[in-house]
Amino acid sequence: MAGVAAANGFPVLNLQAYLEGKTVLETRALVADLCRQFYTLGWVSGTGGSITIKVHDDSIPKPDQLIVMSPSGVQKERMISEDMYVLSSGGEVLSKPCPKSYPHKTPKCSDCAPLFMKIAHMEMIKGIFGHGYYDELVIPIIENTAYERELTKSLSEAISAYPKTTAVLVRNHGIYVWGDSWISAKTQAECYHYLFDAAIKLHQLGIDWTSPSHGFIKNESYQRVSKRKFEVYANAGLAFQASKPSRKCIVLDIEGTTTPISFVTEILFPYARDNVRKHLISTYDTIETKDDIELLRAQVLDDLEKGILGCTPIPPDDAGKEEVIESLVVNVEAMIKADRKITALKQLQGHIWRTGYDNNELQGVVFNDVPEALERWHDGGIKIYIYSSGSREAQRLIFRNTVHGDLRKYLCGFFDTTIGNKRDAKSYCEISQSVGVDKPSEILFITDVYQEAVAAKAAGLEAIISIRPGNAPLSENHEFKTITSFAEI
């Protein structure tokens, strides 16, 4: 960009050159390298979006220095400098990543504000008392000091300036939180210090907490407050841990849960439909295909008795290979069009897809948050299973060959419709008997289908509904917890 361009309200000559300059490029590479190291160390949950560093450039006034932010939806270990967003200090996006080829998603900018001072339009805000999706949460930031006792004055000023806040961030230190709505944060990762607790209590009582005459900064008082605080937070922590479900197994649906529905409907189904004739011709005399044909014969006979539309009789083998294959193709195409969840179809589709994967004509697709979650659960000692209407072989194929590598190493087993219909509670009773838990409630089942969640709950399992792009809408009165990413579990 030639001439003068306004950036952050400060005139900057040749903004494009600035964006492509050494300091910005080095900062982009630094953020990518940090994300990879965070992944190795097990730090930062989720994909690591919104990790932010200000570009240090002595030639630019500090208020106008740019910000480099890591994208949302890209695994930390896979981030590269080209994935980064560059923002003005006011939050305006000045440079964004180039689109990625299918099936990779283009990195998206985090919804977090660059300075993390004000937060709005985020669903999790509703977890803080008195705040809703459209409300703005303001969290003051104060500078750190050499000793915590020296934070008293700035804490007092921050709370006085923001009387409705329930947290204060301390640069290069951590976050102080209070209030019942932050109980889960209190019992997991935040700072529990006697000084802060005493300061809050005195502030609520209207006492000048900075005055030495109250003596709350004496060592003896430190000990009393610290002991009481330990008891309070220990009890709160035990209560929180007791309220958490005891999960030993997680059972996952595939379509609409680990994998986009579009991958199944727009890639897998058409591939099976277009290659069914070719597959049957080339494998007609194999034991595997003969078994597939017998299953289809039995299914078609049952369909004919029930008067299901689209099915036609399959002639006996002595009618000739061509005639048998022709009738099989007609029936299979009708089954695929009707999206039948039947073992005979799913088994044949799995065998057709196997050829596609082996010939590199197909590649498994999962949502970007899935690999990290599978690894995290696996490392935490949780057994992970798949339960899908697709055949077990088809399930394995999806996870065998993905852009994230072979994910089967995290999976303990696969269930398909041979164990029962996914909308039947008995199926989930069978699964609970098979995975070796003491009680069904130790199993979490995640699906995108409400009726499947109902059946799993009826069998005693914990059930969560997955909300993914392309999934069918849920009714407003459903009683299940919902998630949009496995990072929420």
Residues identified as active-site: 123
Q: How far is CA 226 from the centre of its chain?
A: 38
Give, in degrees to the nearest 5, the angle at Cα 282 between 281 and 286: 100
Structure tokens at 37: 């190291």
Contact 243, 437 (CB under 8 A): no
Q: Is residue 422 within 8 Å of residue 389, measured between CB atoms?
A: yes
Structure tokens at 158: 């921050």
Task: Find tokens 């379509």 and name the residue.
Answer: 255
Opening angle at CA 50, ends 38 and 15, nearest 5: 115
Question: Residue 159: which of 125, 209, 109 has the closest Cα?
Answer: 209
Pair 144, 173: CB distance under 8 Å: yes
What is the distance between the alpha carbons of residues 457 and 334, in angstroms, rounded to a whole number? 33
**Helical axes 321-337 vs 269-283, angle rounded to 10°:** 170
Strands (E), 390-469: 413-415, 443-447, 462-466
- Owner of token pair 């050494």: 22
**In whole angstroms, what separates CA 410 from the centre of its chain?**
16
From residue 64, how far is each of 5, 7, 53, 97, 132 by CA, in Å? 13, 7, 14, 22, 32
Lookup: tokens for 406: 């072979």
Give one DSSP letter per residue of 189-217, joined into a string.
TS---HHHHHHHHHHHTT--TT-GGG-TT
Secondary structure (3-state) at 11: strand
Q: Letter for the amino acid at 1? A: M
Structure-block tokens of residue 452: 């499947």
Could you identify the residue written with the tokens 């361009």? 5
Q: Which amino acid belongs to residue 223?
A: Q
Residue 143 Rama label (left phi>0; alpha psi -120 to 50; beta): beta
* DSSP E strand stretches across 317-473: 383-387, 413-415, 443-447, 462-466
Please list, in sequence order, all residues whose beta carbon lies within 8 angstroms of the beta carbon of residue 304, skipping any fewer than 6 positions away: 311, 313
Instruction: State whether residue 94 is helix, strand or coil.
Output: strand
Is the Cα torsion angle 425, 428, 432, 438 positive or negative in sign? negative
